[in-house]
Structure 1
Amino acid sequence: MKRLIGILMVVLVAALAGWAWTRTLPMATAAAPRVAESAMVDGGGYGIYGWDGGLQVVLIYEGTVAAQTCDIDPADGAADEVYRCTIPFANGTTTQWSIRSADGKTGRITVDGVTYAVPREATVLRINGDGVGQRVTAYQRILPPLTLGDASRTLEQWMARDAEFAPFAALFRSE
């Protein structure tokens, strides 16, 4: 009986020590972006997201967007999921994407089931809603620093200097 009580005491102490140790580990919670802007304009739209840790992601929607619905820190999402959006285009095509980041320095963006490491694999994603050809194109670009309240203007000026994005700059200038 004394042996059984001794074993139970050792197990209890080990369990408490393990629990106490896990409480000292950092929590993997979502790092909310400090810059989050989106706009829908004739023939397209965009989403701009920037974190204090330096992570920046830009989504460009090519095609008329009917409306967008987004959940911030979705309750049914992973601990580090920050945004989840559904983008229905006017032609009936729908795109879903989500951003995950625990530290605001790196993360993952998943668009229609394809995951990209950000910023390593992509910083700009162009989503084509016309239903023809490649739907998502990922670009690895060094973005300018985007600040709250000024992100869309800064992005528009940056896009105007990039041959691939210049047509979108003109579109967003009319916003």
Structure 2
Amino acid sequence: MHNPDDLIRLFNACFASSENTQLIRGDDEPIYLPADEQTPYHRVVFAHGYFSSALHECAHWLIAGEARRRCIDYGYWYVPDGRTAVQQAQFQQVEVKPQAMEWILSEAAGFRFHFSVDNLNGESTDSESFQLAVQQQVLQYQTLGLSIRAERFRQALRVFYG
């Protein structure tokens, strides 16, 4: 069974001290919140207690550079479900790397990865080319290697889920 509480413990064991960042179960939409006056640590908030959402939000954090990690939601724009074809194409372009990282993390955790176009009520776009781009990015990560943070978390998942 894949319990998001296990992911929280693993992520926080890896990064709460070294990166001042914690993975947190949220009630609504996922969001990244840098430390502020009220909360002295950075928060990777995932949606509705879903394991897949937690993995996806971890993936976003793992690929975000230091400057992006100082911004709310890494400084990205987000248009909710119901995007036009143009908006969806832009969304898919910025989702290639996070979904590739999520796939790698899912594999390490023995969890089935699902592509997500996250636009059920919007205009359809070419999901095959998006999936191919994600697959190619996975191969690139495997060839060039992961960042230190990403590799640390992947190894923690592998050890825990064996």
Normalised to the residue count of structure 2, the TM-score between the two structures is 0.27
Normalised to the residue count of structure 1, the TM-score between the two structures is 0.26
Considering fraction of residues, name the structure with more helix.
2
Looking at CA atoms only, which structure, 1 or 2, has the larger radius of gyration?
A: 1
